[in-house]
Chains A and B, each alone.
Chain A
């Protein structure tokens, strides 16, 4: 049999075999773009936390010299680095303070939506039957319900605040996640390795959390990173309707919304907060991509 003694007899080591015990973080840090993303996120978080220290002005102060003689906002200058808004307030300071609200919305609200959506989707997709039917019909119902109407109803019942906005966004955004996770869980549940676990006598929670959830990470991460920019903008819509971050408090979304009609005359008022949202979304995207690869052992050596 010696001639046939191919790779089956002894273990083969692929040329790029990774050293087994490497941590997820180590693998994440090997990716340059992921590090860039982490740096950007850290910078945004720091500036939000340290806004009172680093902001050149009070975000709500309306400067007498913040407007031209005709009353229009100032373009970027030496005194106001990013220019001023319609009321003569310093845009840079408003963006720095607004980062607090936008981060809470983008991370907390979006994160809550992801968690709710994943749990509902996984449970409905794995157990199916009555539980699955009830959960998914409820998801369909939520999908059909206009988000803004829901937000206005909630705001009418509760006092408008940032946390209401976060709650509304979480309640509105989890449905898409649930749908996608549901269908993916259904197909994962049909995979043979799940059947193999069942024959070993593994409990449902073990199969769900140890074997199915890890396979959903890439989907959830994609949804999570896509969700950041949409939720930041959804918050702006809600603020615009008077449900949410109340003036004069700033958020990136409501800066854009307040000023969008003056886009031609004062483009910087839309450009800078827009760029901030883009940068944050991009940074989360990069980290998300890196995390997805780092969490998937089969991706090793393919990047």
Chain B
């Protein structure tokens, strides 16, 4: 570690006593002999009581492996700790056997995982899972365990805690489940809490709540927290100290403020530069007149019936999209933002023809409803979609060259030779080598796969590309380059984008126009400057405020307190929700009345 900066000025006023957890020279390897590969190399850090240490890095940097090693949960057979020590108080966790380790886990070190949906057992009630963990470690009776469980649920501010104890995980919302996970982890008052991407799967407003609860509990109980994240915004928001990891090594570590202010290493600088920031997009010139619309959407509705009862009748309806209208101007980007369940992805699927819908949709002047089969195929050519997960949206059994050529085959364009040439040109255009065509999707990284998906969408020269969370699964640096590619392609081919994202900062950087969706309807729509610069609707403001700012100096004083869960979009049959009326508050800035 040549230039590893050790700013050991202990952050946030933590007492400079003996650290709770010390990791020294940790090296994790996989494979034997010639196949031996280090996954984490020579990693050292200390954790003080009441401190938050963020381990930040991109995928493959070894940050999650480190946390698993501390918990003694490295998958077997596979990676193992080769050298180094992990000391909790006096005990070296590396040397402990499985039986002793089991006593440490949950009791002294607790962990919460990224996916609150899968880390709770769906067939046990919340209360049962909480008391089980308590009874496993403490010699307490059922009544006492229940009391402790209730107490910890109240500590994470779960409303009606006593009733929640009897509920099953599926009855709770995502944010609520993550709070239950935190309650479970904290019920035994551990010394160290490891949180592995605890808010990545959550919406921004809920992320802010969960981070707030973590901070609050830490302040009252003095728990030391290791927060593992790829999100530099979260780091800036909560960290006392930061370790930046890259390819298994600590690149830089130190207190959060100087690290953000004056990063010493090139990698840290580049990583921070790649983070999309709110407000950065405004510099890119604002003179966007609305062009001729390439797609017109009028009063689009999507309803899913919920069947039930003996006869399988429709007992309720989910109003996923409850009447949205907008135009997508040619050569421009319209973004749909909103939290999960707001109907933005369903809107995209309706336009792409994946779900049946009501209302009027026309692309390039052709109305989708009145079309014959051949016309409908032509419409498919004009509208292409790039999905969120580049791992899932490519058939793993086909060569990527065939996958990119497939749209041409389906629409009967060109001879095999012409198709090959066109595919090769597409590969080159999106920044992949032509000889990559013969490989299979699993041989590429996430960013490369998303480039393949882009090449595929471009193959038919569409007028509109729908990008549904297309960069959300990518690391920031890769994300930045894919976004740049999308912008270049827009200028070059004159494509309009419908960009769907929950990430406000990304939206702010790429959009010309923005529409904010809530419960299946648009609450605010306008140019980027209008929506982000002068948000009128309270929901838009709440969304923007919840976005963590990647600057520790601008840390918010208090996290927004709990607001109730979003109301349900499930309604009785033939009872559509009331339509919001959008009024123009000037220069095409449309806002719903509140």
* A-to-B contact residues, CB < 8 Å: 1-4, 6-12, 14, 17, 20-21, 191-193, 195-203, 206, 210-211, 214-215, 295-298, 300
Q: Is the CB of A196 within 8 A of B394?
A: yes
The one of A193, A198, A201 in contact with B394, judged by C-beta atoms closer than 8 angstroms, is A193
Q: Is the CB of A192 within 8 A of B271?
A: no
The one of A8, A17, A202 in contact with B439, judged by C-beta atoms closer than 8 angstroms, is A17
Q: Is the CB of A296 within 8 A of B397?
A: yes
Contacts of A198 on B, CB cut-off 8 Å? Answer: 353-354
Contacts of B266 on A, CB cut-off 8 Å? Answer: 2-3
Q: Is the CB of A191 within 8 A of B392?
A: yes
Contacts of A7 on B, CB cut-off 8 Å? Answer: 445, 447-448
B501 at interface (Cβ–Cβ under 8 A)? no
Q: Is the CB of B270 within 8 A of A201?
A: no
Query: What are the interface flags for B225-266 relative to A under an 8 Å C-beta threshold, 1 for contact and 0 otherwise?
Result: 000000000000000000000000000000000000000001
B116 to chain A, nearest CB (A): 22
Q: Is the CB of B406 within 8 A of A202?
A: yes
A215–B266 Cα gap in the complex (Å)? 45
A83–B13 Cα gap in the complex (Å)? 92
A261 to chain B, nearest CB (A): 49
Q: Is the CB of B443 within 8 A of A14?
A: yes
A1–B273 Cα gap in the complex (Å)? 9
The verdict on A4 contacting B410 (CB below 8 Å), with A10-B433, A214-B397 known, is no
B267 at interface (Cβ–Cβ under 8 A)? yes
> Could you list 23 examples of A-B contacts with CB < 8 Å?
A1-B273, A2-B270, A4-B271, A6-B478, A7-B445, A7-B447, A8-B478, A9-B481, A11-B433, A12-B445, A12-B448, A20-B399, A20-B439, A192-B388, A192-B392, A195-B387, A196-B394, A197-B395, A199-B352, A200-B406, A200-B407, A201-B381, A297-B442
B393 at interface (Cβ–Cβ under 8 A)? yes
Of chain A, the residue at the smallest CB distance from B435 is A11
Q: Is the CB of A193 within 8 A of B380?
A: no
A206–B393 Cα gap in the complex (Å)? 16
The one of A6, A199, A300 in contact with B477, judged by C-beta atoms closer than 8 angstroms, is A6
Q: Is the CB of B406 within 8 A of A192?
A: no
Within 8 A of A (CB), among B253-293: 266-267, 269-271, 273-274
A11–B388 Cα gap in the complex (Å)? 21
Query: What are the interface flags for B391-418 relative to A under an 8 Å C-beta threshold, 1 for contact and 0 otherwise?
Result: 0111111110000001100110000000
Of chain B, the residue at the smallest CB distance from A196 is B393
Q: Is the CB of A297 within 8 A of B440?
A: yes
Contacts of A296 on B, CB cut-off 8 Å? Answer: 397
20 new A-B contacts at CB < 8 Å, known A1-B481, A4-B274, A8-B477 = A1-B270, A2-B270, A3-B267, A9-B431, A20-B439, A193-B393, A195-B354, A195-B387, A196-B385, A199-B352, A199-B385, A200-B380, A200-B456, A201-B410, A203-B410, A210-B398, A211-B395, A297-B396, A297-B440, A298-B397
Contacts of A14 on B, CB cut-off 8 Å? Answer: 443
B438 at interface (Cβ–Cβ under 8 A)? yes
A21 to chain B, nearest CB (A): 6
- In this complex, the member of A2, A8, A203, A296 whose beta carbon has the largest number of chain B beta carbons within 10 angstroms is A8
- In this complex, the member of A10, A191, A193 whose beta carbon has the largest number of chain B beta carbons within 10 angstroms is A193
Within 8 A of A (CB), among B444-499: 444-445, 447-448, 453, 456, 460, 477-478, 481
A296–B395 Cα gap in the complex (Å)? 12
* B-to-A contact residues, CB < 8 Å: 58, 266-267, 269-271, 273-274, 349, 352-354, 377, 380-381, 383-385, 387-389, 392-399, 406-407, 410-411, 431-433, 435-436, 438-440, 442-445, 447-448, 453, 456, 460, 477-478, 481
Rank and list the top 9 A-B pairs by shortest CB-CB distance, nearest first.
A20-B438, A201-B380, A8-B447, A4-B477, A192-B392, A297-B440, A199-B385, A192-B393, A3-B266
B270 to chain A, nearest CB (A): 5
A8–B433 Cα gap in the complex (Å)? 12
How many Cβ-Cβ contacts under 8 Å join chain A to chain B?
Answer: 114
Of chain A, the residue at the smallest CB distance from B459 is A200
Q: Is the CB of B448 within 8 A of A215?
A: no
A198–B406 Cα gap in the complex (Å)? 12
A22–B430 Cα gap in the complex (Å)? 26
A141 to chain B, nearest CB (A): 20
The one of B273, B442, B447 in contact with A298, judged by C-beta atoms closer than 8 angstroms, is B442
B564 to chain A, nearest CB (A): 32
Contacts of B354 on A, CB cut-off 8 Å? Answer: 195, 198-199
A9–B447 Cα gap in the complex (Å)? 9
A43–B145 Cα gap in the complex (Å)? 68
Q: Is the CB of B433 within 8 A of A4?
A: no
Contacts of A201 on B, CB cut-off 8 Å? Answer: 377, 380-381, 407, 410-411
A220–B328 Cα gap in the complex (Å)? 46
Contacts of A211 on B, CB cut-off 8 Å? Answer: 395, 397-398
A104–B21 Cα gap in the complex (Å)? 69
Q: Is the CB of A8 within 8 A of B274?
A: no
Q: Is the CB of B389 within 8 A of A199?
A: no
A12–B442 Cα gap in the complex (Å)? 12
A59–B297 Cα gap in the complex (Å)? 79
Of chain B, the residue at the smallest CB distance from A213 is B397
Contacts of B352 on A, CB cut-off 8 Å? Answer: 199
Of chain A, the residue at the smallest CB distance from B269 is A3
The one of B387, B411, B481 in contact with A192, judged by C-beta atoms closer than 8 angstroms, is B387
A6–B479 Cα gap in the complex (Å)? 12
Of chain A, the residue at the smallest CB distance from B407 is A200
Of chain A, the residue at the smallest CB distance from B265 is A3
Contacts of A1 on B, CB cut-off 8 Å? Answer: 270, 273-274, 477, 481
- In this complex, the member of A12, A20, A191, A295 whose beta carbon has the largest number of chain B beta carbons within 10 angstroms is A20
Contacts of B448 on A, CB cut-off 8 Å? Answer: 7-8, 11-12
Q: Is the CB of A21 within 8 A of B396?
A: no
Contacts of B377 on A, CB cut-off 8 Å? Answer: 201
A3–B263 Cα gap in the complex (Å)? 14
A14 to chain B, nearest CB (A): 6
A299–B269 Cα gap in the complex (Å)? 39
B250 to chain A, nearest CB (A): 15
Q: Is the CB of B392 within 8 A of A21?
A: no
Of chain B, the residue at the smallest CB distance from A296 is B397
A103 to chain B, nearest CB (A): 31
A15 to chain B, nearest CB (A): 10
Of chain A, the residue at the smallest CB distance from B449 is A8
B495 to chain A, nearest CB (A): 15
B423 to chain A, nearest CB (A): 14
A201–B385 Cα gap in the complex (Å)? 11
Q: Is the CB of A196 within 8 A of B387?
A: yes
A105–B572 Cα gap in the complex (Å)? 56
Contacts of A203 on B, CB cut-off 8 Å? Answer: 410
Of chain A, the residue at the smallest CB distance from B274 is A4
Of chain B, the residue at the smallest CB distance from A191 is B392
A107 to chain B, nearest CB (A): 26
The verdict on A17 contacting B481 (CB below 8 Å), with A193-B392, A198-B353 known, is no
Q: Is the CB of A298 within 8 A of B395?
A: no
Q: Is the CB of A297 within 8 A of B432?
A: no
A297–B402 Cα gap in the complex (Å)? 14
A78 to chain B, nearest CB (A): 53
B384 to chain A, nearest CB (A): 7
Q: Is the CB of A4 within 8 A of B397?
A: no
A215–B397 Cα gap in the complex (Å)? 8
A10–B445 Cα gap in the complex (Å)? 10
Contacts of B269 on A, CB cut-off 8 Å? Answer: 3
A175–B352 Cα gap in the complex (Å)? 36
A300–B441 Cα gap in the complex (Å)? 12
Q: Is the CB of B399 within 8 A of A298?
A: no
Contacts of A297 on B, CB cut-off 8 Å? Answer: 396-397, 399, 440, 442
Q: Is the CB of A4 within 8 A of B267?
A: yes
Contacts of B406 on A, CB cut-off 8 Å? Answer: 197, 200, 202
